[in-house]
Amino acid sequence: MKNRRILVKRSNCLIFFFQDGKFHYKNYLSGREFEASPVLVPILAQLDRWRTIRDIERLLPGYTGASIRSSLRRLIAHTAVVIKGSSASKREEELSAWRIWGVEARFFHYATKNIHAAPLTIDEASFNRALKRRQPPPPSVKTFPTRRQIDLPDPSPHLRGQLPEVLLKRRTHRHFGAGKVSLDQLSILLRLTWGFTNYIQWPGLGRLPVKTSPSGGARHSLEVYLWCSRISGLDRGIYHYRPDRHTLELMKKGKFAHRMDQLCGHQDWVQDCSVLFVMTTILARVMWRYRFSRAYRVILLEAGHFCQTFCLVATWLGLAPFCTAALDDEMIDDDLGLSAGEAVLYAAGVGMPP
């Protein structure tokens, strides 16, 4: 903190709260959280715009220069204060894309970005047994035993036919056969999941495209990118799907099988699938119409609809689908060159059945 010309400002991404009686602050963009003294608040309050060290000394006459500099060093290390021109300050500027939905949407999105710290390679069975020893799992059924119980007609005679059979057959697959998914199968998957299938008239907006899954306000904010590894008749690489023309746009050629498992929280079986589909949302498409933070839920719900459609189409095609939310969003941002206005949501993939 020797350079007196350095400009600093408090981070725009700070949240303050009490936890177990202690005062904490968290920077939701950097993910850093610290216990702090409430005395920090008036200091940070002064750092509402870019200031030099000399400005800060003038604003805080009760503190010595040395104590201000050492506090600033700590605050910068904690990412509570950012330096003008630093990569952290540039990242924060990009967050203006989230402004309309207030603090709550971006806090939740960024505070939960990237896979949790616990590795997915843990021994699932012993991990779950330990959890069970600590506390039994909640029951999977809720009942109202004192209320009248009404038997429903037996549906089994109606569970034949393509739709019920596909619904009943859908499972999550984590093992795949050695063959390749064909380009025809990929085309059907894309068309029936993410392609434009029709147009509707929307009041005041005119003709809007629709797809096989519903979308809040027909905003259709989702984009889909493909990491193709084993598709017959298609070069390995990363592609973007263009739903209006039903075409693929090649973004990067290359082998990404290992990268795919890294993107999915190091779930090593992912590298054996044929293609990984990553869904993102272009926030502005929804924000433009719905200027309140509850609309953030709408995009998450929409991604769920699309994923289920995808799993059912893949099952109908005789393929082995899966979905995963264990994503390293930042790695995907890097591969696709995404900015803060386009957020990673969900991934699904498919391979040949074993």
Residues in contact with ligand FMN by CB under 6 A are: 171-172, 174, 267, 323-326
CB of 306 to ligand FMN, least distance (A): 12
Amino acid sitting at position 342: E
Strands 198-202 vs 237-242: parallel, antiparallel or unpaired = unpaired
CB of 173 to ligand FMN, least distance (A): 8
Q: Whose Cβ is closer to ligand FMN: residue 75's or residue 303's?
A: 303
What number of other Cβ atoms are within 10 A of residue 349's Cβ? 28
CB of 226 to ligand FMN, least distance (A): 18
Q: Whose Cβ is closer to ligand FMN: residue 287's or residue 303's?
A: 303
In whole angstroms, what is the distance from residue 57 CA to residue 67 CA?
10
Q: Whose Cβ is closer to ligand FMN: residue 64's or residue 172's?
A: 172
Cα pseudo-dihedral 6, 9, 10, 11, rounded to 10? -90
Q: Whose Cβ is closer to ligand FMN: residue 27's or residue 267's?
A: 267
CB of 159 to ligand FMN, least distance (A): 17
Q: Whose Cβ is closer to ligand FMN: residue 72's or residue 115's?
A: 115
Q: Whose Cβ is closer to ligand FMN: residue 44's or residue 321's?
A: 321
- Phi-psi category of 192—alpha, beta or left, where left has phi over 0 and alpha has psi -120 to 50? alpha
Q: How far is CA 136 from CA 101, 124, 142, in A?
A: 38, 16, 16
- The arrangement of strands across the sheet holding 247-253 comes to 247-253, 237-242, 222-228, 275-282, 342-351, 320-324
In whole angstroms, what is the distance from residue 341 CA to residue 284 CA?
7
Strands 14-19 vs 22-27: parallel, antiparallel or unpaired = antiparallel
What number of other Cβ atoms are within 10 A of residue 37's Cβ? 9
CB of 168 to ligand FMN, least distance (A): 11
Q: Whose Cβ is closer to ligand FMN: residue 92's or residue 329's?
A: 329
CB of 112 to ligand FMN, least distance (A): 13
Q: Is 21 helix (H, G, I), strand (E, B) or coil?
A: coil
CB of 207 to ligand FMN, least distance (A): 33
CB of 301 to ligand FMN, least distance (A): 11
In this structure, are residues 347 and 341 in contact, taking their beta carbons and an 8 Å threshold? no
Give the CB-side neighbour count of residue 132, counting CA atoms within 13 A. Answer: 7
Q: Whose Cβ is closer to ligand FMN: residue 64's or residue 112's?
A: 112
Phi and psi, residue 185, nearest 5°: -65, -40
In whole angstroms, what is the distance from residue 289 CA to residue 354 CA?
45
